[in-house]
């Protein structure tokens, strides 16, 4: 597969055109950002780890009936993916209180919910990814009622798959965000599933095994990405 010109560059990934109009190459960078890009740095090995982890988890999704944009891992930093039209919402599933949920509602961190919660946010750095209700998504023309239902339903199934898998390797899935795209009339999982987009805690020690180590200057950032790659099974 021949890599051609750059189509898009985000904070953590670059998308390149290929000689197949239905496929693009997704390149994972070592750049790390937090708080809408206010905090920036380079985390050596992050791109390799996130590509490896996302590849493994996309394969896991496929085995469990979730269609994704993933085709194959091409190199340490690159994966081949379907070219999708990204829906400009982020779908967030929470199992335990953490992060912005605690800041918004004055919740203590670490409270287990009776059932997972699902929320949507507007994918926009300019407006700081504000929360959206279903009506907002519809009125802005971002997704139809049926698409919203599909995203919610798929996100909850993804949560079940992730919880089962990570429980088997001694890790708690605290929360995560996923992005969906349109591909030939279908809604499919896109973007990535990695320590950049999920909160993972060690079941025994409660050590944070995700980007919070960078966000909050907890240390061992590079080591944590490498540990997650090893535990997931690179």
Please say if the pLDDT value at position 37 is more than 80.
no
C-alpha span between 16 and 36 (Å, rounded): 24
pLDDT level of residue 234 (50, 70, 90 thresholds):
low
Specify burial of residue 94 (Cβ count, 10 A radius: 0-12, 13-18, 19+).
Answer: buried
Q: In CATH, which of 2.30.22.10, 3.30.470.20, 3.40.50.720, 3.40.50.2300 is domain 85-221?
A: 3.30.470.20
| Predicted confidence (pLDDT) per residue in 60-83, tens digit | 999 999 999 999 999 999 999 999
Crossing angle for the helix pair 46-63 and 221-232, nearest 10 degrees?
A: 30
Question: Which runs of consecutive H residues, i.e. helices, occur in 64-144?
Answer: 100-105, 134-139
Q: In CATH, which of 3.90.930.12, 3.30.930.10, 3.30.200.20, 3.90.1150.10 is domain 3-82?
A: 3.30.200.20
Q: pTM for the full model?
A: 0.96
Instruction: Decide: helix, strand or coil at residue 132.
Output: strand
Q: Quick one: average pLDDT of 189-214?
A: 98
């Amino acid at each position: 597969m021949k890599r051609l010109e750059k189509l898009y560059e985000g904070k953590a990934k670059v998308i390149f055109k290929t000689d197949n109009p239905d496929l693009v190459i997704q390149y994972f960078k070592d750049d790390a950002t937090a708080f809408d890009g206010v905090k920036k740095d380079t985390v050596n090995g992050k791109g390799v780890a996130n590509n490896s982890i996302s590849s493994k988890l996309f394969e896991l999704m496929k085995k469990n009936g979730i269609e994704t944009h993933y085709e194959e891992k091409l190199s340490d930093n690159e994966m081949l993916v379907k070219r999708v039209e990204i829906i400009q919402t982020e779908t967030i599933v929470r199992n335990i209180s953490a992060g912005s949920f605690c800041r918004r509602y004055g919740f203590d961190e670490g409270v287990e919910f009776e059932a997972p919660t699902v929320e949507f946010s507007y994918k926009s750095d300019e407006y700081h990814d504000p929360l959206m209700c279903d009506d907002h998504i519809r009125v802005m023309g971002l997704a139809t009622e049926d698409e919203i239902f599909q995203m919610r339903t798929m996100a909850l199934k993804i949560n079940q798959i992730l919880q089962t898998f990570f429980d088997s390797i001694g890790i708690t899935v605290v929360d995560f965000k996923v992005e969906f795209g349109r591909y030939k009339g279908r809604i499919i999982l896109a973007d990535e599933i990695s320590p950049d987009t999920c909160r993972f805690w060690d079941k025994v020690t409660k050590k944070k095994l995700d980007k919070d180590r960078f966000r909050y200057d907890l240390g061992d950032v590079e080591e944590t990405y490498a540990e997650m790659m090893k535990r997931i099974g690179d």
